[in-house]
Structures are given as C-alpha cells and as structure tokens.
Structure 1
Amino acid sequence: MKHKLKAALLVGALLGVGMQAPVAAATAKKSEQQVAKKGTAKAASKAPLAAKSAGKQATKSVAKAAPTGKAAAQSRHTGKTVVAHSARPAAKPIRHASMMDMDADPSRLALYSASALVIDQTTGQAMIEKQPDLVVPIASISKLMTAMVVLDAKLDLQELIAIGDADVDGLKGTRSRLPVGTTMTREAAMLLALMSSENRAANSLGRHYPGGLPAFVQAMNKKAQALGMYNSRFEEPTGLSSNNVSTAHDLARMVAAAARYPEIRQYSTTAEARVELNGRIRDFHNTNALVRNDNWEIGVSKTGYISEAGRCLVMQARVADKPVVIVLLDSNGKMTRVGDANRIKRWMESAGLGSGSRRPA
C-alpha cells in the first residue's frame, strides 16, 4: 500500500513539472517580446532627436563656411566667389542657365528701363532696342548738349564766371553746393556740371554764353538738328525742365558726338575732384558709380533724374572689346539703371557679338 502511495505521489510530481514547463516557456517568450518592444519604441523615440542633432550640426557647418557681414561685403567688393560647403552628401549637380543659353537673343534680356538702346559703334547697328523712339524727358542728360555748345563756341575756359540768383532752381527746388556769389572758371563749372550734375553750374554756363540764355538754348536746338536729333527739344541747359525731351535713338547720336570732345570725355568720367571755391577746397564725386568700377572702360558718362524722366544713364564705353553707346531711360528704381548696364555688359561678354538678327540703328 505504501509503495502504491509513493508511486502515485511520484507520478503527480512528474506531471506537475511537465505542466509548468510550457507555462514557463510561454512566460519567458512573452517577457522577451515585451523587452524587444520596449527597445524598439525607445530607439524610435531617439531617432528624431538624433536626426535633429545631425541637422543642427550640418546647419552649423554651412553657417561657418558661408561669409556674412563684413566678410561677405568684402568678397563682393573684390569680386571673389565664396562657396559654402555643407556637411550633407553631395547632391546631384544642378544646371544653371547662363547668358549663353539665350543664344544671343537680346529680347530675352530683362531690362528694367522703360527705354533702352545699345549701339555697336563699329558697325553702327543696334544690338539691343526697347522703345528706342519713345519721346521722353531726359533730365540732366541735357548737360552733354550744354557742354558741346560751350566748347563749340570756343569760349575761354579759364574765364571766371559767377553763380547768380538766376541760377537757383525755382522749378524743382533742388539744392546745390554752389552758393550764390560763388566764382569759378568756366572749366570748373563744366567739370561740376558733367561730373556731379551741378544744376547751377550748368545754368551759369548758359547765362555766360554770348547773347545769354535765349541764344544758348537756340544753339542747343540748332546743334540737335545738325546731329540728326529730329525728335529732340531743349528748353534750358540743366534738364530740370520736363520739356527737355528726346528719344534713345537721338541720345545715342548725341553721346557719340560728345565722345569726340576730349574735355567731355575727361570731365564726365572723373570719379572725384577737389575744387577750390571762394577760398575753400570742396570735394565732389561723380553721380555714376560705374566710373569707379575697374571692370568698366567708360569714355563718356552722364546720369539724369527728375520725377517725370525717372532715372537715366547714357554712356560711351568699351565692352567685350567693342565700342558701344548705351542709353537707358526712365528706370524706376534707384539702382536699376546701373543694374541694367551691368546686365548688358554681362550679356555682351557671355553671348558673343555675332551679327544675329540685329537691326540698323
């Protein structure tokens, strides 16, 4: 009997162990799955933080490589190209459109001047035309004609002339650095009129012409007709009057004629000058910043501005080893006329100078 009881207890113990094994295995498996699940969740939660950290590190690398502030300004001034390097792997190269892609088509050149004209002086042909026959006010571009009339009369450039009350601008109310009573040579007055666009100097040149202002204005219009400027009219020497009008085609003729005067070439392209006025030395600067740019070779320059005319710029220059006349009229923005001139220069240098579909001026 005892032996039967012991045998029964032994069988029960063995059955208990057999029942616990699958349960333990299932429990262990479940535990392993929970641990694995927690580990995956933890790794997933860390992934965005790791990506964010990597992004910050890459951003810092780019920021450190790219020039800012004074360094960037200096790089622009010197014309050096600064390339910013990123910590990210190199992307697929992107093809940027160049001026060559224009196939020398000037119609695709974006100019912000209302009227524009570029003449190749070697061939006499128009390379770029945008409303070249539109009659518009020309502001201080008029002073080129003023200078030609004075020089044609062969007046003594060393003769002293004075700024009078009649030279004060009563039309637009513009200010001047030449007080009434200031005396200077005719040469100095011409320099200031062409370089710094001094209105009182230009008006004084007209007043001191033989026969006074009426005779001077008559001579301006006679000269315009002689140059074939049939759509032009001058009312006074400064350009303050919106009745001084012309077209881009006419002004191209005027600029080309002005380039034949050594004095106009010299005075209009002088970057800055120190002039003695009433015993004091005064500094004057050219109104065209491009004359101070070594990348430009400018023979004649004149800027102009009144509200009716917008911002204007005419130049005779050498671009892409070609003599050209550039006329830009009625630019809205303060720097758009300079921007247009630079765009024309880049186009000429990049697109080549083949004959293409250019039309006679």
Structure 2
Amino acid sequence: MKTFAAAFLSLAFLAALPGAATAAADSTPSKATRTPAKTATAPARKVRSVVLRKAAAPVIPAVPTFGQVAGLHQVDDPLALKSSVAYVLDQDTNEVLFSKNPQAVLPIASITKLMTALVVVEAGLSLDEKITVTDDDIDTEKFTRSRLAVGTTLTRGEMLHLALMASENRAAHALGRNYPGGLEAFVDAMNAKAQTLGMSDTHYVEPTGLSSRNQSSAADLAKLVNVTSQVPLLRDLSTSREARVALGKRLVQFRSTNGLLSNPLWDIGLQKTGFINEAGKCLVMQASMAGRKLIMVFLDSSGKASRIADAERMRKWLATVPDAGQAATASTKL
C-alpha cells in the first residue's frame, strides 16, 4: 500500500508540472517561446499616476505710491479716508471745508486730461476735424492697451469725449499731437495755462497722465476743476455715462470710469478719475450738495473702490456736520 500511495503521489506531481511550466512561460516569455495572447491573459501592468502641479506664481510686491513713500497714509483724519490727500472747497465762497495733506504734490494720473481738454477747447480748434490715431499715440510709458487701434479716425469732438468720459489715453495723446505746433507746443500750452490759473505746484510733461511726472496738489486741482466746470462742453462730456462710437464697421460702446454718475444721490457737474501705480486711485468732482456747489479732490486712494467710498463718506459727513471746516484739517510735512 505504501508503495502504491507513493507511486500515485509521484504521478500526480508529474501531471502538475506542465501546467506550472506553462504559467511561468506566459508570465515571463522569452523571445523564443513567446506565444500569442490567445493562450493566456497577461496580468495588468501597474501604471504610476503623476500629478503635475502648476508652479506657484512669484509674489511681486506692489509698487508703492508716492504718497505711501512719503508717509501720507499714516495721517489720521476724522473720516478715516483711504485717500492720502483730500480737499473739499465751497465753490462760491472759497471756504475750505475739509483738508488732508493739502501741501502734498503728487502724480495726478488721468486727472491730467482735464487740462488737456481745457487747452483744446480754448484753442478754438474745430471739433469736427478728423483726427487719426497713429503709432505715435501708442503708450510706451505704461504699455496700456486701447480700443482705438492705429488707423482709427474720429472727429476731435469724439476724441475729446472719449478722453474725458472713458479716459482713453490714445484719444488724449492724439488731441495733443494734433495741436498747432505739435505735442511739444501742446505741453507748453498746458503748463502756461496752469501758471495763468495760479497752479504753482503743477507741472505737465504729456497730455494723458500716464507719466508720474505730471504732478499737482489738491489746491491746484481745485482751481482747475473750478475753471473747467464752467465750460458747458466739458461738463457735458465728462459726466456722460456712455457713448457708442463707430470704429470702422463696428459700433463700440464706451462707458464712464466714474460709477457715481449712476447714483441718484449725487448731482455731479464735472468729474474725472485717474490711476497709475505711482498715483494710486484719484478723483476730482464738482457737485451740488445741500444747496452748495462743492469741489472735491481725492488723491492717492488705496483700494479698488476706495476713492468712491471716500466720496460717499464725505457726502454723508457734509450732510450731517453744519460747520464742516472747523475740525477737518489733517496734514503731515513732506
């Protein structure tokens, strides 16, 4: 029996060997013995998943404004304004109702375009004359974009409208370039007009405001707003909320850069916004409020909507404080 059992086990062991050999051959076949996939299924190959993560963008520190460098934002004021410079003047009495850092001379960005518009209008140039945007009008200072492509032709009046309402830089530059004597003569006329108005802290180097060398003070800008607000055309164009302009075969809609024009609580007679990194957010306005005609100047405001918020704080404050000018002065020495 032992012999029979041993023989039986040996036969069973030998019968199992071919199957074991075949399985080994299917899993790791050599070039000579590789068989078609019909006879056996190869085990699934394990695939490693690699997740490619986007490299983190480098953190680029914000360029400080001239006001921040000078420490103007450290000055406290009764309204906790985000603007480092604020100035409110009664247009009829010349009474200063609010003043914060009035002595500061800072970049004024596109507030420049108010002087650009004033010089164009006072020159008596035809508003119907056609002006064409050229390569010379491309911004090489800040490399900003424009919806006015090179070759665009509009009337001087349309260029003036877009410069004041939508703060179109190419429009403003084209206006200066097409002044009698060219751009250099136009900038000279801007500075001469500033001196005539008694704007002793003001200097211009170009007509758009893209250069940080266009600088002024709050009191000077109040003088400019006072004069420009008395020109009906500039009042109308600067407070226009939107306009459709034919650019080639397309009608392109332009909108004002000042959201307060849509606010029924405001009665704005003239306005202009401005922004470049060195100047921060800027805003000047002539507005009627509580039976008064007021001139407001906000410069170097920090934050996307802070200049509008500052104007709202000022409006509410002026409505609740009878004698606003008594304790509304804050300043620091530069």
TM-score bracket, shorter-length normalisation: 0.7 to 0.9
| Unmatched segments (≥5 aa) in structure 2 | 1-75, 330-334
1:319 Cα offset (Å):
1.5
> What is the deviation of 1:353?
4.3
**Residues in 1 aligned to 2:236 and 2:322: alpha-carbon distance in whole angstroms:** 30
Question: What aligned pairs does 1:21-40 form with structure 2 within 5 A after superposition?
Answer: none
Q: Which residue of the other structure, out of 136, 156, 166, is the alignment partner of 1:166?
A: 136
Q: What do residues 5-31 of structure 1 show as CA deviations (whole Å, max 9, x unaligned)?
A: xxxxxxxxxxxxxxxxxxxxxxxxxxx
Report SS of the residue matched to 1:154. Answer: coil
Q: CA deviation at 1:140?
A: 0.2
Q: Secondary structure at the match of 1:342?
A: helix
User: How far did 1:277 drift?
Assistant: 1.8
Distance 2:141 2:327 in 1: 44
Separation in structure 2 between the aligned mates of residue 114 and residue 356 of structure 1, nearest angstrom: 20
Among the aligned pairs, what percent are the same residue?
Answer: 52
- The residue aligned with 1:321 is 291
**Would you say how many aligned residue pairs link Structure 1 and Structure 2?**
254
- Show the counterpart of 2:220: 250
Aligned to 2:194: 224
Question: Helix, strand or coil for the counterpart of 1:255?
Answer: helix
Structure 2 CA distance for aligned equivalents of residues 340 and 357 of structure 1: 18
Partner of 1:197: 167
Superposed, 1:1-361 pairs within 5 Å as 107-353=77-323, 356=326
Secondary structure in 1 matching 2:192: helix
Deviations 1:173-224 (A, max 9, x none): 1000000000000000000000000000000000000000000000000000
Tell me the CA shift for residue 122 of structure 1.
2.2
Structure 1: unaligned runs, 5 residues or longer = 1-105
Secondary structure of 1:123's counterpart equals coil
Find the aligned partners of 1:107 and 1:284 in 2 and give their Cα distance.
Answer: 36
Mean Cα deviation higher: 116-125 or 273-282? 273-282
Q: Distance in 2 between matches of 1:192 and 1:331?
A: 24
Paired residue for 1:28?
A: none
In structure 1, give the amino acid aligned to 2:221: L
Q: Which deviates more, 230-239 or 274-283?
A: 274-283
> Contact 1:125/1:358 (CA < 8 Å) preserved in 2?
no
**Cα distance 1:107–1:123, how it changes in 2: closer, same or farther (>3 A)?**
farther
The code of the aligned residue for 1:182 comes to: T
Q: Could you tell me which residue of structure 1 aligns to residue 35 of structure 2?
A: none
Deviation at 1:244, TM superposition (A): 0.2
> CA shift at 1:350, angstroms?
1.5
Shift of 1:351: 1.6
Structure with the larger helix share: 1
SS in 2 for 1:338: helix
Structure with more contact order per residue of length (Cα contacts < 8 Å, sep ≥ 6):
2
Structure with the greater alpha carbon radius of gyration: 1
Alpha-carbon deviations, 1:263-313, whole Å to 9, x = none? Answer: 110000001111112232110000000011111000111000000000000
State how far apart, in whole Å, the 2-side matches of 1:306 and 1:107 are: 24
Superposition misfits of 4+ residues, deviation over 3 angstroms:
353-359
TM-score (norm 2): 0.74
Q: For 1:153 and 1:162, locate their aligned partners in 2 and report how far apart those are by CA, in whole Å.
A: 19
CA distance in 2, matches of 1:339, 1:355: 20
Aligned equivalents of 2:271, 2:313: Cα separation in 1: 17
- Residues 126 and 358, structure 1, Cα contact 8 Å, conserved in 2: no
Could you say what the CA RMSD is over the residues aligned between the two structures, in angstroms?
1.4
- 1:322-354 CA-to-partner distances (Å, cap 9, x unmatched) read 100000000110111000000000011122246
Q: Indicate conservation of the 8 Å contact 2:99/2:328, yes or no.
A: no
- Aligned-residue offset at 1:357: 5.8
Looking at structure 2, the residues matched to 121 and 262 of structure 1 have their Cα atoms a distance apart, in angstroms, of 16
